[in-house]
Structure 1
Amino acid sequence: MVEDYPPTGPLLDIDGIQVHAHQEGNGPDVILLHGAGGNTRDFTFDLLGRLTSAFRVTAFDRPGLGHTDPLHPNGESPAEQANVLEAAARELGLGPAVLVGHSFGGCVALAWGLDFPDRAAAIVSLAGAALPWEGGLGPWYELAASDFGGAFIVPMISAFAPRFLAHQTIERIFDPDPVPEGYTDHVGIELSLRPDTIRSNTRQVNGLKPHIREMAARYGELHMPIEIVHGTADEIVPIDVHARPFVDLVPTAHLTELEGLGHMPHHVRPDIAVSAIHRAAERAGMRTAA
């Protein structure tokens, strides 16, 4: 039940938009941005707790996901998401931060860095989307993102899809790595299977390519330290399409390749993800704990 997964932090009112934040720790600021279809619980499962001894860590539900309202029905661009989350960061009194994004959250972190460079002391991309890709994303995204699919197909999927299919989807996201014990229960599948959440997620993902193409044309503006952690076996956001060419475009970017790992490096090798965040903070001149 959705009621089993309530907000775990403040619900901010940003010009009439509810934004959910989860905050723990003390020190320099780190901001966590989850991937497609996810929510803050992806980070509170493990990664966030590994950072709180050295940082004040704020995880946001991105627009339309978790307990944050959508901005509009057409699929929010990374820049639109960064804009409202910047206002939320100001509301919380955050300072310059290490922006950490997983998957879709990675391109939101990059958009945030492009439009609000004073906020982005550094960026860490965990298997993040960064560059346009060849071809489309398949019939599911096209159908679910359409007016017809949003009105008829999405509610049917939400109401009648067996929950074991959702478990299989999580297994595919982690593949070839195992799903950590307890992750599926913690992350709150019910939050992701609400009709409004499915609509928001599919429209964001289906409409991403033109936005990321526009962002790529501006990557020369990125001068902050950037750390990337990416598995070589990631088939959702392939390293050859995103991370490897990105480091050729942006001189401040450093790539850590994880041989044979898939799309969830912060769960499979959280030590590497934590090291990348500390390294980014150190490169940006932010004080970190030993």
Structure 2
Amino acid sequence: MTSVLVTVLGGLVLISLAILAGLSIWSRMIARRVEAAIPPAGEIATVTGGKIHFLDQGEGRPIVMIHGLAGHLQNFTHSTTDALKGDFRVIALDRPGSGYSARDSDEQARIPEQARMIAEFLAAKGIEKPLIVGHSLGGAVALTLALNHPDSISGIALIAPLAKLPEEGAKAFNALKIASPLMRRLIGETLAVPMSIRTGDATLRLVFGPNEAPADFRLRGGGLLGLRPRAFVTASTDYAAVGLDMPALTARFSEIKMPAGVIYGDSDRILDANANLDALRASIPQLDEEVLPGIGHMVQINRPAETEAFIRRMAAKSFS
């Protein structure tokens, strides 16, 4: 009986390992197809702790755009950069570890580290005193640049920013709540891609809701880049860093003296607009604030004209 049980258990283990290996091979095949469909859009710069992929367009005073959690620079090139590059030097980048950027270790997922890497990138590329545009988690990175590297930038324009630790995590990112780095990598290499394909439509409805995601978002907006094992690992690690870094960041907002503005949709289903706006209002008296009725989290895509006008207004304040 014992030998039969051992045989059965051994067989189940081998079957499980074979399934996991098959999922890993399939996930990597999907990743290669995605990268063939959406290759790097720009250049790669090496900084301490990793590499930054960026697209640099136009001439004039510089505007640097930082996307949010599980995002990519295409979140800005889809609807925002073309409207501005005729009057400004517009640099959209993949946050360290995201898109085609890379980071050397999980330590670079920490928000102050991401801000440091971007500040080093600005200096290396001769991008002097830019206006920083940050969406969602990119807003937290922009706020950290204003606090830790104020001499490197001129102002911040925040789009649906993460400004305080959510009391409850965003439902869209529940799958990212994985404490163990080893488990993140195991899930990333095996289950994450098929799960993302299965839940992709529902996730887009939540992220964009109550508005519609553009039909071309998966390609032109970079959405398909999330169908890669490394994208899941990066997003899950970033999610863990939020809990470690946001309380201390929020407590320092009163130190921000440069021009600062925020645009939010009042129907955001990812972040609590009121809670995040209150955190900014309470400590930044010079805050330029705009709230769009009936708009969700992807403000720059669902309301590009209003986003452009907001960025131009903040550029005028920052570069005056």
Partners of 1:156 and 1:150 lie apart in 2 by: 10
**What is the match of residue 72 of structure 1?**
105
Aligned-pair distance for 1:159? 4.2
Aligned-pair distance for 1:133? 2.6
What's the CA shift string for 1:148-184, capped at 9, x where partnerless? 5313322223342363522331221000001123122
Equivalent residues in 2 for 1:83-94, closer than 5 Å: 83-94=116-127
SS at the partner of 1:241?
helix
Is residue 140 of structure 1 aligned with residue 175 of structure 2? yes
Unaligned runs of 5+ in 1: none
- Greater shift in the superposed pair: 195-204 or 130-139: 130-139
Residues 247 and 254 in structure 1, CA contact (< 8 A), matched pair in contact too = no
What's the CA shift string for 1:112-133, capped at 9, x where partnerless? 1111112221101100001123
**Larger helix percent:** 2
**What is the match of residue 230 of structure 1?**
264
Bigger Rg, structure 1 or 2:
2
Residues 70 and 200 in structure 1, CA contact (< 8 A), matched pair in contact too = no
Aligned-pair distance for 1:75? 6.4
Q: 1:187 aligns with which of 221, 240, 246?
A: 221
SS at the partner of 2:142?
helix
TM-score, length basis structure 2: 0.84
Query: Match for 1:227: what amino acid?
Result: G
What's the CA shift string for 1:33-90, capped at 9, x where partnerless? 0111111111111101111111100011101110110241356122110111111111
SS at the partner of 1:167?
helix
**What is the match of residue 236 of structure 2?**
202
How many correspondences in the alignment? 285
Residues 97 and 119 in structure 1, CA contact (< 8 A), matched pair in contact too = yes
Query: Match for 2:288: what amino acid?
Result: H
Unaligned runs of 5+ in 2: 1-32
SS at the partner of 1:57?
strand
Equivalent residues in 2 for 1:240-255, closer than 5 Å: 240-255=274-289
**What is the match of residue 264 of structure 1?**
298
Aligned-pair distance for 1:19? 1.2
Residues 233 and 259 in structure 1, CA contact (< 8 A), matched pair in contact too = yes
**What is the match of residue 216 of structure 1?**
250
Residues 227 and 253 in structure 1, CA contact (< 8 A), matched pair in contact too = yes
Is residue 47 of structure 1 aligned with residue 66 of structure 2? no
Equivalent residues in 2 for 1:18-37, closer than 5 Å: 18-37=51-70
Aligned-pair distance for 1:280? 1.0
| Percent identity of equivalent pairs | 26
Change in Cα spacing, 1:71 to 1:124, as seen in structure 2 (3 Å) is farther
Residues 37 and 65 in structure 1, CA contact (< 8 A), matched pair in contact too = yes
Residues 196 and 227 in structure 2, CA contact (< 8 A), matched pair in contact too = no
**What is the match of residue 280 of structure 1?**
314
Partners of 1:75 and 1:203 lie apart in 2 by: 10
What's the CA shift string for 1:158-217, capped at 9, x where partnerless? 342363522331221000001123122223334222212211111211330331111112
Change in Cα spacing, 1:140 to 1:122, as seen in structure 2 (3 Å) is same
SS at the partner of 1:27?
coil
